[in-house]
Amino acid sequence: MSKAAGLLILDYWVSPFCQRVKIALNEKGLQYEDRHENDLFGGKSELLLNSNPVYQKVPVFLHDGKPVCESTIIVSYIDETWSSPPLLPPCSYGRAQARFWADYIDKKVFDATGNIWRSKEVNVEAKNEFIGILKQLEEALGDKDYFNGATFGFVDIIAIPLTCWFLAVERIGGFTVAEECPKFSSWTKRCLQRESVAKALPDPEKVYEFVLMFRKMQGID
């Protein structure tokens, strides 16, 4: 593992967006300080508010004190600053495809999970929308091991942390991803076997507990 001066991530344990950054850093073999924001609902740290004045959200990645915000942008920054191993394909067209799918995942997946777990009653429309999105991603994956091809990369990093929320979605929605989207499920298992991923992601059972607590707080349960 190589040490690079002053790498810090402002983190919140359940945030899949923070986990993207950690996986990227792990893939690059970089050591970093993982600083936890304990209270995102009222007591954000000064450092967070100062380094991300626009959105005031985690993750924030600080490289020698200079802040980079927005998880997908942070992952690109990490890839461009530390070039080995590369997370994006070498050709421009491949990179455009990767950025397209990262954008698709950003726009669609987390909100679709929210439509299921924030819903009081079982929402069939939300479930179908969610499955539709995963099927679209299955098509993008095709017969490849990873979205990038034979090697784990950018799009895989953007997508995999979101899967920690799928257990909650399955339990509340009353279905399983393995049954509806087996290819996606295989890809998930394959990614979880990587050390860089496994050590960055929380236990889905804990995420489920968090969702239940959130539902109670919001009066959904």
Partner 1 sequence: MADEVVLLDFWASMFGIRVRIALAEKGIKYEYREEDLRNKSSLLLQMNPVHKKIPVLIHNDKPICESNVQVQYIDEVWHDTAPLLPSDPYQKANARLWADFVDKKTKGEEQARAKKEFMESLKLLEGELGDKAYFGGENLGYMDIALVSYYCWFHVYEKFGDFSIEAECPKLIAWAKRCMQKENVANSVPDQQKVYEFALHLKKIFGIE
Q: Which residues contact partner 1 (rule: CB under 8 A)?
A: 54, 63, 66, 68-70, 73-74, 76-77, 80-81, 92-93, 95-96, 99-100, 103-104, 136
CB of 168 to partner 1, least distance (A): 26
Q: Output the smallest distance, CB 81 to partner 1, in A.
A: 5
What SS3 string covers the chain? Answer: CECCCCEEEEECCCCHHHHHHHHHHHHCCECCEEEECCCCCCCCCHHHHHHCCCCCCCCEEEECCEEEECHHHHHHHHHHHCCCCCCCCCCHHHHHHHHHHHHHHHHHHHHHHHHHHCCCCCCHHHHHHHHHHHHHHHHHHCCCCECCECCCCHHHHHHHHHHHHHHHHHHHHCCCHHHHCHHHHHHHHHHHCCHHHHCCCCCHHHHHHHHHHHHHHCCCC
Of 132 and 202, nearer to partner 1 (C-beta) is 132
CB 57, min distance to partner 1, A: 12
Are residues 101 and 144 in contact, defined by beta-carbon separation less than 8 angstroms? no
**Rounded to the nearest whole angstrom, what is the least distance from the CB of residue 139 to partner 1 in the complex?**
9
Kindly tell me which of 95 and 183 has the beta carbon lying closer to partner 1: 95
- In the complex, minimum distance from the CB of residue 103 to partner 1, in angstroms, rounded to a whole number: 5
Taking the least distance from each CB to partner 1, the nearer of 2 and 92 is 92
